Amino acid sequence: MCNDGALGDNDMPPDVTDRGITCSRIRIETKGERMNALARKAMAVSAAALVAVAPFTVSPSPAGASEQACGANLPANPKRYFYAEGNCAIFGRPGLWRTFTWRVFGNRNAVLQVQTYNTRGQPYWVNCGSWHGGRCRVPIGDNLFKPDFRAWNWAGFSHIYVSY
């Protein structure tokens, strides 16, 4: 047996191989290590999904628009709100704020809102401003989600590019 014949919490009985007897060990993870491993796997899956989906969900930006990996494109018109989901997930932590940069092309009377979540996990909309675009800081907190956006233009038609 391994360990002089006494099996501890992390020891296994010996394995027999073609070279003789070997000892196997099981490593017990703590809750924090397990959560970190899950977060790494989730980021890898998110990155793989982005690579696989990005050519179909992200339109090329017009000249002058910032070229970043995470963002959304959505139209805006005077009839109703238009909705879009960001193409990257946000991994939050307590006290985290995220900056969203947005630009308007076409009629520059657009309004943009970002959906985030409070500490109880309930969604709510944050106003990012109006007119021609800008930057918007949104509280993310200890949440994991893909941000939702909605846009409206009270005076005409336009297109909004959001990056984060």
- Segment 29-60, tens digit of pLDDT: 444 455 455 555 555 544 444 444 434 344 44
Tens of pLDDT, residue by residue over 105-148, are 999 899 999 999 998 889 999 999 888 899 999 999 999 999 99
pLDDT of 119 = 87
pLDDT of 132 = 85
Segment 149-164 mean pLDDT: 93
d(CA 135, CA 140): 15
Fold type of domain 64-163: Jelly Rolls (2.60.120)
Decide if 139 contacts 97 (C-beta within 8 A): yes
* Domain boundaries of the chain, sorted by first residue: 1-57, 64-163
d(CA 13, CA 141): 46
pTM confidence score: 0.57
Residue with tokens 């919490």: 9
E-state strands within 68-121: 71-76, 82-85, 90-91, 97-106, 110-117
d(CA 160, CA 104): 5
Decide if 12 contacts 24 (C-beta within 8 A): yes
Size of the chain in residues: 164
Decide if 106 contacts 158 (C-beta within 8 A): yes
d(CA 99, CA 62): 21
Residue with tokens 């002058």: 64
A 10 A CB-CB count for 125 gives: 14
